[in-house]
Amino acid sequence: MPTRTAKADWQGSMQEGSGTLIVAGASHPYSFKTRMDEPVQQSTNPEELIAAAQAACYSMALSARLSLQGITVEHIETTCKVTLSLSGLGLKISHLVINTQVKAPNLTNEQLQQHALIAKDNCPVSNALVAVPSDLHAKLITD
């Protein structure tokens, strides 16, 4: 199995400093200020990368699960929201919300709900984040 690598360069104090995340050869600036800004600026932050990893991994896990059951998947769209909160020692990731929408012509809502939970339990990123409380919302798209 492959090993993946990302790199972070940081300069300065946490409050005034800034850094660059390098993922798959692409550079993304980050800083404490942009980490706390609403709306998010033209940079990234660790929580956004975790949300992206969760959304991507979950979509693949759900697709695999449905395909193994003989269900034809046309489209899966997943978003993940990661909440950062203050804790006794600083910041912590306190909650995840996974929202997924699935378009599959031979899938019922009952099947989707069952397979959505199983996919979450078997997604490698979900497993890595098992200590963080999470909510999963799955919606069947029909048209």
Residue pLDDT, tens place only, 39-94: 666 788 889 999 999 999 999 999 999 999 999 999 999 999 999 998 887 889 99
Q: How many alpha carbons fall within 13 Å on the CB side of residue 129?
A: 28
Cα–Cα dist 79/16, whole Å = 31
Q: Name residue 97's beta-bridge partners.
A: 81, 135
Mark whether 77 and 134 lie in a shared domain. Answer: yes
Query: Do 17 and 50 lie in a common domain?
Result: no
Q: Per-residue pLDDT tens for 85-125? A: 988 878 899 999 999 999 999 999 999 999 999 999 999 99
Distance (Å, whole) CA 89 – CA 97:
24
Q: In degrees to the nearest 10, what's the CA dihedral of 66, 67, 73, 75? A: 70
Write the pLDDT tens digit of every residue in 10-28: 999 988 999 999 988 889 8
Q: Are 76 and 116 in a shared domain?
A: yes
Q: Is residue 41 part of a domain?
A: no
Check whether residue 74 and residue 134 sit in a common domain.
Answer: yes
Q: Which domain holds residue 54?
A: 46-140
Residues 25 and 58 in one domain: no
Taking the complete model, does pTM exceed 0.85, yes or no?
A: yes
Phi–psi pair at 85, nearest 5 degrees: -130, 160
Specify whether 71 is located in the same domain as 15.
no
CATH number assigned to the domain comprising residue 73: 3.30.300.20
Does residue 1 fall inside a structural domain?
no
Count: domains in the chain: 2
Burial 36-65 (b: 16+ CB within 10 A, else e): eeeeeeebbbebbbbbbbbbebbbbbbbeb
Same domain assignment for residues 84 and 120: yes
The answer to whether residue 50 is domain-embedded is: yes
